[in-house]
Amino acid sequence: MHLEKEHLELAIICYQIAIEYTSTDYERMKIYELLSWIYLSEMRSFAVDRYKQVEYIRMAIKYQKLQLENSLLYHFTEILRIPKLMQWIAKNYESIDEYDDALIIYDRTLKMFEDQLHPPFDTILNILKKILNIYKEQKHDLHSVLKYKIIQHKYIVRDAYETPFEEYNINYIVDQRFELRLRQETIFKSHIELAHRFLDVNDYYMGNEHLSEALELADKNNFGNPCPKEAEFLKE
């Protein structure tokens, strides 16, 4: 194991020297990719404690960010890789509890996907879920949770209404009426959650609005009374 680590350290030195002799940004980008992979996938396995592990992850992030800078120069050829790379950087920041940096990267990635001609709703919703989790569980920032929950709700509704049935979800759903009901239920649940986020910041008017829309959807789709507490709130 000691010999293997020495080989990896030698490989790192060789790649760092190679950077100085590369003639194109594209070649440098590929070397940065290899260096980040060595630190993240190989060197981290030799970490004897949390401190050393964090050090290796930070080195991986350093080279991932350099890779990102060079990838942006080749926007047309790297368009599919850039958002994925940004998500990896954010995930690595999360793994070492550097949540502010993770949020900056997630937010940039979100905007990049939102600007696409045909935004990938599933990917956008996944990023928003990670952002919301950080603000809720780590930052305890209720106003930011509300801000991103509003964005999430917008994409939940768009996903439900704009995604073709045959591409929407799991393959065994063949009855479009049943699938439409599932989509309506997803919107209903999002209204309920958004209502609670408004109530968290004492915005009772908007909380009431979303609870009313949720209950209207429940009544229209025969969901029964899945939110009796909310119904009682509306009666008050």
Name the residue among 130, 142, 136, 46 with its Cα closest to residue 88: 130
Q: What share of the chain in percent tops pLDDT 90?
A: 49
Residue 90: the pLDDT is 96
Q: Strands, E, within the chain: which ranges? A: none
Taking alpha carbons only, the member of 31, 96, 101, 105 closest to residue 67 is 31
Domain ranges of the chain: 1-73
DSSP 97-117: T-HHHHHHHHHHHHHHHHTSS
- For residue range 69-113, what is the model confidence (pLDDT) as tens digits? 888 776 555 666 788 899 999 999 999 999 999 999 999 999 988
pLDDT value at residue 234: 46
What pLDDT is attached to residue 236? Answer: 47
Please tell me the predicted confidence (pLDDT) of residue 49.
Answer: 79
pLDDT averages per 10-residue partition of the chain, 236 residues: 73 89 85 91 73 90 91 66 89 95 95 88 94 96 97 95 66 65 90 95 94 89 63 48
- The closest alpha carbon to 32, from 76, 79, 89, 98, belongs to 89
Tokens found for residue 7: 């080989």
